[in-house]
Structure 1
Amino acid sequence: MPLNWRPAISSGIVAGVVATGAQISLWLVFTDALPGIFYRDARFTAAILLGQGVLPPPATLDWKVMIIATVIHFAISIVYSLILALLLSRIGMMLSLLAGSIYGLMIYTVNMYGVTAIFPWFSEARDWITVVTHVVFGISLAGTYKVLSRAHFP
């Protein structure tokens, strides 16, 4: 079965938004670190392109950092979505959601342990909220892809 590109790309965007919302909600409920932790993570992501110069504290709002981090976040979300969409094309919804949760854990492992070999500052983001956020990302990615691909996007 061929890849449904539009649902796959759309799913990456939706899952990126849902996961970010989940992470912010968890930070709000379980920490008193907002907005600093949000700005910190945006700087971590933006540093992939802008370099380590954007990392030093204080972690305050910087629109250039936020825009670059957002573009990177959604580009990576779409790439991850394209990969998962290839795997989901032949299985049903429930199995897809299970696969999405496992995929989210795999992405967490890649991001927080593999990517840190190149960008070591991401190791600071290793915590249970980040794990849950990646699982939410995988589940929302799988569910959204299955729903949108059934809608027969042209």
Structure 2
Amino acid sequence: MKKERIACYVRVSTDLDEQDSSYKNQEYYFKNKYKDCEVLIYKDKGTGTSFRREGFQQMLLDAGLDKLDERNTNKKIVFIQSDREPLFRKIVVKDTSRFARNIVIMDIIRELKAKDVFIFFEDIQKDTSKDEDMVMLQMLFTFAENTSRTISQSTKFGNKRTIEQNNRDLAPKFQ
């Protein structure tokens, strides 16, 4: 009997070497949990707000989507259905935030659904094959995008204030 082939997506947020053990742990987790399946691992380092991730893009290509030329889409990455058969019908993600922190992901999820490729998010036990789960996922991705944007703005503000304070502290004092 042929094993079901599934894709598992793994992402770490930074390029730090310490993150390599996180990759290994996540790969080990998926291969052991789904040992009755043929597990294809796709992995990336970087932010979840962008789709400019090699492993993510390869997973979508293997799922039967094509990437449109960015020059024709105002530099946005857009994926559409291709004529190719997907290499798998299921993508498993351990944590929703590892997959994306951008509401635009819903467009990609719809394209995957049209190819009969579904995503299961283990942390929230939601599956894109179910319409009621799609509503919840849309809310979660909207919230994740807004949270990510707020954290980014706060970090930039804090960094700017620290630089200003350091410049004042280093400025010569006149009496």
**Greater relative contact order (Cα 8 A, min sep 6): structure 1 or 2?**
1
Structure with the bigger percentage of strand: 2
| TM-score (norm: length of structure 2) | 0.29
Bigger CA radius of gyration:
2
| TM-score (norm: length of structure 1) | 0.31
